[in-house]
Amino acid sequence: MQSGLPLVNERGLESFIPGDAIQAWLDRTKNPSPQRVHAIIQRSLDKNRLEPEEMAILINAEHPDLVEAIFEGARELKQRIYGNRIVLFAPLYVGNECINRCQYCGFRADNTEVHRKTLLTEELVAEVEALEDLGHKRLIMVYGEHPQYDAQYIHDTVREVYGVKKGAGEIRRVNINAAPLDVDGFRKVKKAGIGTYQIFQETYHRETYERVHPSGPKSNYLWRLHGLDRAMEAGIDDLGIGALLGLYDWRFEAMALLYHTIHLEEKYHVGPHTISFPRLEPAVGTDIDRITAKWAVSDSEFKRLVAILRLAVPYTGLILTCRETTALRNEMLAFGVSQIDGGSSIGVGSYSGKDPEVFRKSQFLLGDNRSLDEVIRELCDAGFIPSFCTGCYRKGRTGEHFMEFAIPGFVKRFCTPNAVLTFLEYLNDYATGETLEAGLRQIDRELEAMPESGARDELIARMDQVRAGARDLYF
């Protein structure tokens, strides 16, 4: 192990992903009855997390009528728990140095076609200022796995980002996508005031995992699998899990995500705050077709996966990124997705200037290249309320406390008002004319849908404060 990275020690670690059991459930539940499928959908609508057998039944419900029933159930569940709210964020790539050799990734150590870059402090500030000029309030900072990106470096760069204020702009919540750390490393990063720490297992199928991760710290399946356990032990109770679709059978990966959720619930009484399910995309110097030839996930399969995940874990945020096309993203908002990025760029240093070599500093290609303003306008036209809310973090509604609100669906009581307040900030400070009009219409629709109450009156009073110049108000 190279210096600067935690010692990878898997002694005493065991996999909580039962590969044989997953395959057995998928085999046993083929051709489920419509009655059984509808009963499972109803159990989810009653806000129960599904069991592995139930998820396997939904996965095997392939008749068009049953697929549509799953979609409709996901639409209804999303509306019950999340309302019309869609949380917005942007990725900020800090550096693409990496010592792993993941076969599918443009950042892998032996890829000579990628241009290596780590942001200097002044470049990091410039990137954050550019994002604030767009109106962003929530970021996910992305780091390669390299000795220079250790826990102290992540802590320091996060603190730097929080300190950047430009005009009305500020970053209120930084989430992290980085290598798994040891417990002491996670404790250090927590002190920076982060939100969610994401670790994607990439593929939960161990044989495939070991084949596509031939060397580097990431080649250790168990160390990565238990990464979020160490984060919990360090006091980080806001976690994000994910699988990279296209490395193995999507049905297996979906089941494994549920088993990971169950593991966290049973051990820590806290499920993941978010689940991500990116599909493999082309990257410079990388033969993606060779890797995905067998397990590529079609659009129809992808939509089924997201709807099934929505039903399986009703309280967990589902993230759909700009990897996907605009049309597909817009379609999937209705039946499961609760968080998206907008106006994204994944080249290191690409927000603050036009770099002709940005592609060679990027991890993969994007399918949705709309500006944040365009994304927001189209969300409003489709009846969604964009949100930059960070209220739950500020009020301490994370981890087990968040689950107390989220599992029965109570979190909607806070999320919709906070979405309105943060969106009104965006409209006043950044929106173009057409987007401003669309946004104000959507806010009016949200207010009309709220019952008369003291909470509604308080929201209207706070909206007047925002119009008068107040910022960062939340319930």
Q: Which structure tokens are listed for 117? A: 């870059």
Among positive and negative, which fits the CA dihedral 73, 76, 80, 84? positive
Distance between CA atoms of residues 118 and 358, nearest Å: 13
Q: What is the pLDDT of residues 108-148, one digit of tens each?
A: 999 999 899 999 999 999 999 999 999 999 999 999 999 99
Low-confidence stretches of the chain (pLDDT < 50) are 1-7
Please tell me whether residue 91 adopts helix, strand or coil conformation: strand
Domain at 82-391, CATH class: alpha beta
- The pTM for the full model equals 0.93
Give the Cα separation of 72 and 68 in Å (integer): 6
Exposed/middle/buried for residue 258 (C-beta within 10 Å: 0-12, 13-18, 19+):
buried
List beta partners, residue 139: 90, 174
Q: Supply angle C-alpha 212, 214, 219, rounded to 5.
A: 90
Coil, strand, or helix at residue 95? strand
| pLDDT on residue 6 | 45
Question: What are 305-352's pLDDT values in tens digits?
Answer: 999 999 999 999 999 999 999 999 999 998 889 999 999 988 899 999
> How many of the other CB atoms lie within 10 Å of CB of 237?
21
What does the pLDDT read at residue 357? 58
User: Are 436 and 307 in contact, with CB atoms under 8 Å apart?
Assistant: no
Distance CA 351, CA 342 (A): 12
Strand partners, 385: 85
Rg (alpha carbons) of the chain, rounded to whole number = 21
Distance in angstroms (rounded) separating the CA atoms of residues 276 and 337: 10
Quick one: CA dihedral 299, 327, 40, 22, positive or negative? positive
| pLDDT at res. 281 | 85
The three-class DSSP label of residue 176 is: strand
Amino acid 399: pLDDT: 60
Question: Considering only CA atoms, which of 102, 120, 273 is closest in space to residue 198?
Answer: 273
Question: Which 8-state DSSP code applies to residue 80?
Answer: H
pLDDT at residue 25, as a whole number: 98
- What distance, in Å, lies between the first and last C-alpha atoms of the chain? 46
Q: Is 437 exposed, middle or buried (0-12, 13-18, 19+ CB in 10 A)?
A: middle
For the record, the structure tokens of 169 come out as 């702009």
For the chain, the domains span 19-78, 82-391
**Phi, psi dihedral angles at 242 (to 5 degrees):** -175, 160
- What does the alpha-carbon distance between residue 104 and residue 363 come to, in Å, rounded to a whole number? 10
